[in-house]
Chain A
């Protein structure tokens, strides 16, 4: 027995390459342990620790990117994680989005007198789950990341003690999220049965080896379908979108920003990994379904956004419409035979980065307008904002124009990348539907702008806003304008992927 124990050799661990994950984990442990063993810290101190952690993870990711060169993807931790420019960029997006969301949350919690370490620890946990999802090289590791992300989100959604809507949203999210996770896991099990592995590289190798003339096996097809349903719930594609509006509305507003950025990025990048890497040789089987889902998501998301009267619900449906846009990029990335499939991948990643910043900025302003209690999110609450607080209204206008995809904002760069990828892989119908949906969605953003600038409002909106909230919104608006004028700031990185 001693001999056997001595002969055991664990996998080699490259500690520096997983340092962003380790730093985040350290931040969680520090907040939970030190936070619970010491008396209440000064106002905002928990938020500073959380923000510094996310900032350190982002810096480490940037250093890793610099050291990587142009090499092939490396696998880490006995093939559990993969390490490439693709995963590093996604990790960086998650770290930045986490940083901005923590800044918003810090100001929010101080305003609501609910400052404490738990929320920040949960946000960092969600970010760890998201990073594991995007780096996973094995479907089971991806599932563990997905659950870490989702469980943290359920709790964060239900975390507001003053609003009963928050608990209701948490329960709805939990039931539907658990339901979706079970579908995802069943899909993994069936793909495992059909290919003999859960490793993404091994699945791709097994599928490219046995091209069956009669088509794919029933087990594999069922597995792909179930994976698509599971992901469809997580990224809220129509017809799996019903939870989105309720959860976005019920969750505390900064948490909604976190879900729209970190949650969407992690789930979409994982979707891209599974479908365009592991299952790319079966794209003839899944592409038609994804095209239909993309069209439905684009149209239904945009149209339902128009009829809402609550700004958070409007943004929820607009996020569904954005999800349809990103799915168009996925379809382009799935054309593995085409030389332009890389455009789809890089377009999707830049869209996710730009959209993350937009959604955090927009919901940051909604957080301020919602006021103490986080309840004033109807369209009426925005009336007269242009008179009472022109700076805030100006920032909101910039962010909404960018969401609509107006040129000289980052949103245009994002949409252009996706449409270019769709056109160069000859998905003309999808490109046209995406443009039309963008026009419908633009009406929603105009509606908010009209009520800010042209309607008379009763409320005064002159609330004192925490420095961290102002910093986060300022960074988002700045990045939106800067990337609109100088897209190469971002594209020089995504084009290398």
Chain B
């Protein structure tokens, strides 16, 4: 439209995944709801997936894309375990906020 053709290079995607990863990491550190914290961890894992795909694509290596499937399965398994733990805590007390979980300290 402006006579300018911008071709995205692999670097763009690497930077994007670094940004997504950082957003996820900061989210885990600042949010106080465990469900949102899990979502942030998922965001971090998917940012890594983007890195794998980019690197695999840049090197014409199918491994990068195959690895993504392994990571997705692991992420799904992690959600199952995490939600299981949250549900078992919810049965004991109403509402989940990680600041209320402060029995263990010293």
Contacts and interface: CB of A to CB of B under 8 A. Distances in A.
B101 A186 contact: no
Interface residues on A, range: 35 or more
Interface stretch (A16-24, A170-178, A261-269, A337-345): A170-178
A310 B28 CA distance: 29
B61 A155 contact: no
Contact of B103 (A158, A168, A174, A178): A168
A171 B104 CA distance: 12
A186 B44 contact: yes
A87 interface: no
Contacts of A196: 59, 61
Main secondary structure of the interface of B (DSSP, over half): helix
Nearest to B103: A165
Nearest to B91: A167
B41 A178 contact: yes
Contact of A147 (B48, B77, B84): B77
A179 B104 contact: no
Contacts of A172: 101, 104
A179 B55 contact: no
A154 B101 contact: no
A217 interface: no
B98 interface: yes
B81 A168 contact: no
Given A151-B77, A182-B24, A245 B106 contact: yes
B67 to A, nearest CB: 5
20 contacts: A147-B77, A147-B78, A155-B81, A164-B103, A167-B85, A168-B104, A169-B104, A174-B85, A175-B38, A178-B41, A178-B82, A181-B45, A182-B44, A185-B45, A189-B52, A192-B55, A192-B64, A193-B54, A193-B55, A250-B104
A144 B88 CA distance: 26
Contacts of A198: 63, 67
Residue in B55, B77, B81, B85 with the greatest tally of chain A CB atoms within 10 Å: B85
A151 B71 CA distance: 14
Nearest to A161: B88
Contacts, number: 112
Nearest to B104: A246
Contacts of B37: 175
Nearest to B77: A151
Given A143-B74, A189-B52, A175 B41 contact: yes
A193 B104 CA distance: 41
A308 B22 CA distance: 35
Contacts of B51: 186, 189-190, 193
Contacts of B92: 164, 167
Given A170-B88, A189-B52, 15 more contacts: A143-B71, A143-B74, A147-B78, A158-B88, A164-B103, A167-B89, A168-B103, A168-B104, A174-B81, A174-B85, A178-B38, A186-B51, A193-B51, A196-B61, A249-B104
Nearest to A166: B88
